[in-house]
Chains A and B, each alone.
Chain A
Amino acid sequence: MAKITFITQTGTQITAEASSGNIMELAKENNVEGIDGDCGGVCSCATCHVHVAPEHFDKVGKASEIEEDMLELDDNANEYSRLGCQIEISEDLNGIVLQVAN
């Protein structure tokens, strides 16, 4: 199990647990505001954008080139940006904090 914390734009903090699936799915199951997942997780809509807490970024890792291209044109992107649907959940992510970008 990995415990993952989301902080929304309005400051609400939600901690959820999972051992599989991806971050977008977990956020949707827990009604995290600002994560819509319109495209169902195929990296086409960018409605699952999160900023990884800088100290946890190594655990999550860098975006792929295709994901990078999507983020490059997102006005809210920064160096810690990732698309939630492209982050697979595993034990290694236990304890990470994600700021919802929208």
Chain B
Amino acid sequence: MKKSELPDPFSDARKTKGCGQMHDQGDDVTMVLGLKDVRKCAHNWKTFQSGAKPGRIVVPNEEYIRETRQIPFEVDPPAHGDYRALVEPWFKRPLEVAYQEKLQQLVGQSIDEALSAGELEVVSDFALKLQSRALTVLLNIPLEESETWIKWGTHVFRSEDSPVDGDKAKILYDYIDAQIDQALASPGEDLYSVLLSSEVNGQKLTREEVKGVMILTFAGGRDTVINAVTNTIAYFAEHPQSLDRLRQEPELITRSVEELIRYFSPLTHMGRVVTEDTQVCEHAQKVDSRISLVWASANRDERIFEKPNEVVLDRKVNPHVAFGFSHHNCLGATHARTLLKILIKTLSERIGKMEITDHQDNIEEWGEFKRKVGFDSLKVKFEETKG
């Protein structure tokens, strides 16, 4: 098996039952596996809500380590739409040329570092750095700030021994509190300041609401982007002919990003709380129980995708749900897509060869399912394009 390969552990359960089961701190989860079922449940926010107790829709459950409601993630329509309309223009800035030029510079810097090192550990020394630097562009704050986030390491929201670690989470919450204080004292053009001065339905956002948006922006865009970047490097290291093809046909890069995101599905699943007795995959599902929408499984659904377990770089029709579906679809998707496009373009232009010299898989355990989502570490040798 190639190192960049990510097998689909959900296939049998998806075909035979449509659902899986997992235990999570005494609050079990029915995992919805098929693409159509995942979409239907994501769309049906009345029965499958996001606005439950803060932290409960996350798997593993975070309700005991977090009180702040993440916004707009843990809010249902119609209030969700009001928050979303407020932040949406900010999160569309990656479509602007000036924004893309900044990202291009950061990607260039990361590739320079890789080439001058010759060999490096991609997760911490490439993906984490690039993700953190790029986040300063999204927040519109000085690049130096990324040094703090890089120092936190890859797992500020997760510890090695327990999936949810209150102390680690506190580092982020305290940091955001301090940043909000600073923005209140001297407002600027950054996301904190913009949020602090904005209104929803004639009401100023409260400090707690601003915190809710910021925590989500950090948490939602960290592991996901790190995995996507690392897996991209691993994939092209093992498929140099694909990189050659994109060099010759750069117009395929947009499709290739969608396909890689489908294949990687950096966020495996996300939960919902059931608001009434109902049925999921033809099984009874009780009020106040939890389900999860398994994006990673839906993206390999053989009823929808031909050759679901292959990367088909120019896949033309690709109705994947790697960025979610319906109301809560990923707010950071424009940023993530733009970053990956620039990364792939730059790799195709500047990298002659990449070779994986060592690797440690990152394997998640969800009940009966073990899913490789990427790497805990990935050592790669980089060589420049010749001539």
Contacts and interface: CB of A to CB of B under 8 A. Distances in A.
Chains A and B are bound partners: yes
Contacts of A64: 317
Interface stretch (A10-18, A35-43, A93-101): A35-43
B333 A38 contact: yes
Given A40-B255, A44-B258, A73 B43 contact: yes
A101 to B, nearest CB: 15
A70 B319 contact: yes
Contacts, number: 45
Interface of A: 38-45, 64, 66, 69-70, 73, 86
A86 B315 CA distance: 13
Contact of B317 (A38, A40, A43, A45): A43
Contacts of B248: none
B326 interface: yes
Given A66-B304, A73-B326, A42 B318 contact: yes
Contacts of A86: 317
A83 to B, nearest CB: 10
Contacts of A39: 258, 318
A4 B48 CA distance: 40
Contacts of B315: 42
Contacts of B258: 39-40, 42, 44
Residues of B in contact with A, size category:
20 to 34
B342 to A, nearest CB: 14
Interface string B271-313: 0000000000000000000000000000000001000000000
A38 B326 CA distance: 13
A88 B321 CA distance: 24
Contacts of A73: 39-40, 43, 325-326
Q: Which of B304, B317, B333 is the most central at the interface, judged by chain A CB atoms within 10 Å of its CB?
A: B317
Contact of A42 (B40, B319, B325): B319
A40 B337 CA distance: 10
Contact of A69 (B39, B318, B337): B39
Interface in B163-179: none
B316 interface: yes
Contacts of B317: 42-43, 64, 66, 86
Nearest to B77: A75
Contacts of A45: 323, 329
B36 interface: yes
Contacts of A42: 255, 258, 315-320
Contact of A38 (B43, B255, B304, B334): B334
Contacts of A66: 304, 317, 319
Interface string B121-162: 000000000000000000000000000000000000000000
27 contacts: A38-B334, A38-B337, A39-B258, A39-B318, A40-B255, A40-B257, A40-B258, A41-B255, A42-B315, A42-B317, A42-B318, A42-B319, A42-B320, A43-B317, A43-B319, A44-B318, A44-B319, A44-B320, A44-B323, A45-B323, A45-B329, A64-B317, A66-B304, A66-B317, A73-B39, A73-B43, A73-B325
Contacts of A44: 258, 318-321, 323
